[in-house]
Structure 1
Amino acid sequence: MCESVDDVTQAVLAKNDGLAASLRDELARRGVSVANLLSSPGSGKTELLGRVLARAVERRVPVAALTADLATENDARRLARSGAPVKQLLTDGLCHLEARQLRGHVESWLPQDTSLLFVENVGNLVCPAAYDLGESLRIVLMAVTEGEDKPLKYPTAFGSAHLVVLTKTDLAEAAGFDESAFHANLRRVNPGVEVVRTCARTGDGVDTVLERVLAARDGGSVHRPPLAPHPHGHVHAPDPVS
């Protein structure tokens, strides 16, 4: 009997969830906290992350970053200017990261003294939302230029966020961004989630983002949204049985 696409999807996601849970336990034993950053392309995620990494380095936080893209190592070069250890992960066309990929880099590359690992996921708010990476904190970023209805268009991503970060806030007035409407829309998919306003150009909000991530690392209270359902997205076929 042939498996349906839904059956294959659920099998792949279930395998990923199992790997993620195991990786989360392993990282916890090593004292490593992972922040998984999700956003659309062009949100300013890389620029903001570079600022956060630089601030962490200044404060002597043992931090590292893994950045994922379909092609080029441009983001890794940009993030490396912070002084933090950075590794580029090329997905060869895959539109999201999976727990197996993160595990491989944790085992082969992550510096031993790391206590905080930022993972910059592929720029996409659909597929990455379905894949737990074993993260301690899921941060969803959105530029004010993207429109206040974004949470309603991508409810799985925003609904699974522990923290939401607004970027490029210096452009809010020019873009006609209705922040009240944005907050109302966000409450519909993730009531109670904290929103941090940032501007990488001026540095506004950079310290706040770092403080929230450090608090999560150190066992502080973190908003925990209800478990969001897996969306139907692109998946790999299950690995062949050896």
Structure 2
Amino acid sequence: MCRVVDLRQAVLAKNDAAAHTLRTELTARATVVVNLLSSPGSGKTALLERELLLARERAVAVAALTADLATENDALRLARSGVPVRQVLTDGLCHLEAAMLRRHLDGWLPEETRLLFVENVGNLVCPASYDLGESLRVVLASVTEGEDKPLKYPTAFGTAQLVVITKTDIAEAVGFDEAAFRAHVQQVNPGVEVVRTSARSGEGVGLLLDRALAVASGARTHTPVMAARQPHGHPDVPDHEHEHSHGPDHDHGHDHVHPHPHPDEHPALPQTR
């Protein structure tokens, strides 16, 4: 008799267990993880840089870990905020996993960190399947990506606890239909909050920080219908959506820690409304 083993489910189940352990440990030390997912070029690094600067102005203890297949460009940008930043290079892996994240946090994350922003690999497919032990999952989409993005990537948008529209300063120029986008988001994730932001104009800067601080203070987060239906807390993603084939114990990535620049090396933020 042949026994069929679903390796994908086994890998995800192992990741869920690691994520649960990490979430429990970080919650015990009052650290909230914010997992940022988006396509490449959505503007999440620019927005995160503004949010980190604002957090520093407000004396909020934050840190950021950013993941990319190659280059340290994003970490160098985020390090200008003056907060602890670590770059993880995944060497081709299209997402982060909970065990990988934990290994990169060990010995690096300051004990007093209240918020840890994780900028996941630019990809709306693979990262959506992996719980990182986050307390807030945020999916970002720029106005240049099209109103049907939520319908094309229902797993990512369907498991979000907050959806952020970026680059709103050029929405009119590119003909972005915001009403249609919001309708599509609600179609795959009823009740999730959708906010507008522009790192360039300053619109909505601080909203991401405010929502994360609310979670840190005990506020309840949105429960996506898609996530609630899954037995292991992860979406049931078809096999073809996984862009890699590695064993459950395979590890990718190496990291680089960036020094904090002098406090006066970054510009002041404009007031937000």
- What SS does structure 2 have at the residue aligned with 1:174? coil
In structure 2, the residue matched to 1:210 is 209
Q: What TM-score does the superposition give when structure 2 sets the normalisation length?
A: 0.85
> 1:236 and 2:255 equivalent?
no
Partner of 2:24: 25
Contact 1:9 1:235 in 2 (8 A): no
Amino acid paired to 2:82: G
- What CA distance in whole angstroms lies between the structure 2 residues aligned with 1:88 and 1:119? 10
The separation in 2 between residues aligned to 1:212 and 1:235, in whole angstroms, is 35
Of 228-237 and 193-202, deviating more is 228-237
User: In 1, distance between residues paired with 2:3 and 2:8?
Assistant: 10
1:168-221 superposed Cα distances (whole Å, 9 cap, x missing partner): 001111111111111111111000100110000011111122111110111113
Please name the residue that 2:8 is paired with: 9
State which drifts further: 159-168 or 108-117: 108-117
Aligned counterparts of 1:96 and 1:127: Cα–Cα separation in 2: 6
Q: Is the 8 A contact 1:125 1:157 kept in 2?
A: yes
Could you list the runs of 5+ residues in structure 1 that have no partner in the other structure? none
Match of 1:113 in 2: 112
2: CA distance, partners of 1:202 / 1:193: 25
CA RMSD of aligned residues (A): 1.5
Measured in 2, the distance between the counterparts of 1:150 and 1:209 equals 21
Question: By how many angstroms is 1:81 displaced?
Answer: 0.6
Q: Residue deviations 1:68-124, cap 9 Å, x none?
A: 000111100000011111000010110000001111122121111111100000000
The farther-off stretch of 213-222 and 82-91 is: 213-222
Within the alignment, does 1:146 sit opposite 2:152 as a pair? no
AA matched with 2:43: G
**TM-score for both structures, normalised by structure 1:** 0.95
How far apart are the structure 1 equivalents of 2:22 and 2:2?
A: 32
Give structure 2 stretches of 5+ with no counterpart. 251-273
How many matched pairs?
Answer: 239
Q: Residues 47-196 of structure 1 correspond to what in structure 2 (within 5 A)?
A: 47-196=46-195
TM superposition shift of 1:236: 2.6
Q: Give secondary structure in 2 for the equivalent of 1:78.
A: helix
CA distance in 2, matches of 1:81, 1:236: 35
Q: Which structure shows the higher helix fraction?
A: 1
Cα gap change, 1:59 to 1:235, in 2 (>3 Å):
farther
Query: Could you tell me whether the CA contact under 8 Å between 1:151 and 1:186 is conserved in 2?
Result: yes
Q: One-letter code of the match for 2:200?
A: R
